[in-house]
Structure 1
Amino acid sequence: MQLRPLNPVEARVLATLMEKARTVPDSYPLTLNSLVAGCNQKTSREPLMNVSDAQAQEALDSLKLLSLVFESSGSRVARWEHNFQRGVGVPEQSAVLLGLLMLRGPQTAGELRINSERWYRFADISSVEAFLDELQDRAPEKGGPLVIKLARAPGMREQRWAHLLCGPVEPGDTQSQAPLTGAQLHLEGRVEALENEVAMLRSAVQNIYEQLGMSQPGHDE
């Protein structure tokens, strides 16, 4: 399927839905409030963004027209799910890699394998590279390449990969960012886990209010 290039907010909204479907399934599908909070997380995001409710809703409406998201039924409050794998026509593993690249920016195959642990467990780096190569060599009749291998950044042994869902990227655009150390990755993982726990608690409270037919204080939904 040939998609038009996504804008940065559409990519963030779509990838956040993809992430939360796997990391906090009890809170999924997401309400607009939960989605915006996920888009604006301070961890596991590159670049950091400050997406408003209106921007997120506009992105959802546009993505719905592309059949990449849909509104789930059966809830008083609107909740949203992604349809990325079917909408783009890629296997699960490729969808995971593309979601991570949309959320965290360019990464090496090794970084992708580490960062995908809570989404999907790849056997080894070579399996990650095989799916990346497949995405890079995607046939024109299927929509063309979805990733590109960037030039090696100064001081780095491995080349990074970038997604093409927001349009062409120059191979020489390294978007250099110092790779995280093991300690930084560990700390980031702990903060992300805490953020996900908070999201689950918020969802649980919201479900209780829904069952009681009440609106949460301070929420218009």
Structure 2
Amino acid sequence: MNIQLSALDARILGSLIEKQLTTPDQYPLSINALVNACNQKSNRDPLMTLDQVTVQQAVDALKKRHLILEKSGFGSRVPKYHQIFCNTEFGTLKLSPIETGILCELLLRGPQTPGELRARVARMAVVSDVSEIENSLEAMRLRPEGTLVTKLAREPNRRDSRYAQLFTELSGTPRTDADELQAMNIPTPPTRPPDVTLDELLRRIAALETEVADIRARLLPG
């Protein structure tokens, strides 16, 4: 696909698709509702704390790219926004319900395994088993009009490979959340220190005890 998105673009479009599918009676969204959706604590990775000005600027840019449409309801001065990124008469990106759910989740949470996607997509589309997710991912990967997802190399300690959407691709490599957040001046969560085993802790304690005993021997000669 020729559409390139930043992490903020992906969060906005993913949030609009999600609300369109899960709460259609509250869709399209006002800018306040969209900010809340972007900053939502559940089903978001990474978590963001975006202000209205930042989101409005991104929405305006997406409007110019014909990925978002602004609507005003009858008798309402508050503009509402809905996505025209996929499955609309305005664009060429047509997806099945499962494919739409997959793309939405990948935009909102980043790379995921088919098993993870099955549980999360089920709130937006009927999913019988994980094979439906796997088949849909392959269809999106081998799409004649242009691939939408890529299968990542299996990571150590993971049984299944993860899939990533390609709309945030940069120089042939999917952008990482940390890269995008740094570019947006949004602090990334602190990295968790590596786990230390009990044996390693005991070795460290023994070494400290030996060092303390040596210091005592030098300071307090017998």
Q: Distance in 1 between matches of 2:122 and 2:41?
A: 19
User: Which residue pairs with 2:141 in the alignment?
Assistant: 136
User: Which residue pairs with 2:48 in the alignment?
Assistant: 49
TM superposition score normalised by structure 2: 0.70
Paired amino acid for 1:132: L
Structure 2 CA distance for partners of 1:32 and 1:65, relative to 1, 3 Å: same
Paired amino acid for 1:24: T
User: Which residue pairs with 2:153 in the alignment?
Assistant: 151
Residue deviations 1:107-130 (CA, integer Å, cap 9, x gap): 111111100121111222111111
For the Cα contact (< 8 Å) 2:9–2:58, is it kept in 1?
yes
User: Which residue pairs with 2:21 in the alignment?
Assistant: 22
User: Which residue pairs with 2:166 in the alignment?
Assistant: 164
Could you say what the CA RMSD is over the residues aligned between the two structures, in angstroms? 2.0
- Give the one of 94, 105, 114 matched to 1:100: 105
Partner of 1:72: helix, strand, or coil? strand
| Structure 2 gap segments, 5+ residues each | 179-222
User: Which residue pairs with 1:79 in the alignment?
Assistant: 80
For the Cα contact (< 8 Å) 1:20–1:28, is it kept in 2?
yes
Q: How far apart are residue 58 of structure 1 and its match?
A: 1.6
For the Cα contact (< 8 Å) 1:150–1:170, is it kept in 2?
no
**Structure 1 stretches of at least 4 aligned residues deviating more than 4 Å after TM superposition:** 168-171
Residue deviations 1:161-186 (CA, integer Å, cap 9, x gap): 11111115648x8x9xxxxxxxxxxx
Greater helix share, structure number: 1
Give the count of matched residue pairs. 169
Q: Distance in 2 between matches of 1:73 and 1:3?
A: 30
Report percent identity of matched pairs: 40
For the Cα contact (< 8 Å) 1:9–1:51, is it kept in 2?
no
User: Which residue pairs with 1:195 in the alignment?
Assistant: none
Give yes or no for the alignment of 1:110 onto 2:115. Answer: yes
Residue deviations 1:33-90 (CA, integer Å, cap 9, x gap): 1100110111111111122212211221222223221112323211111122233513
User: Which residue pairs with 1:35 in the alignment?
Assistant: 34
TM superposition score normalised by structure 1: 0.71
User: Which residue pairs with 1:89 in the alignment?
Assistant: 93
Q: How far apart are residue 3 of structure 1 and its match?
A: 3.0
Partner of 2:118: helix, strand, or coil? helix
| Relative contact order, higher structure (CA 8 A, sep 6+) | 1
Q: Which protein has the larger Cα radius of gyration, Structure 1 or Structure 2?
A: 2
| Structure 1 gap segments, 5+ residues each | 176-221
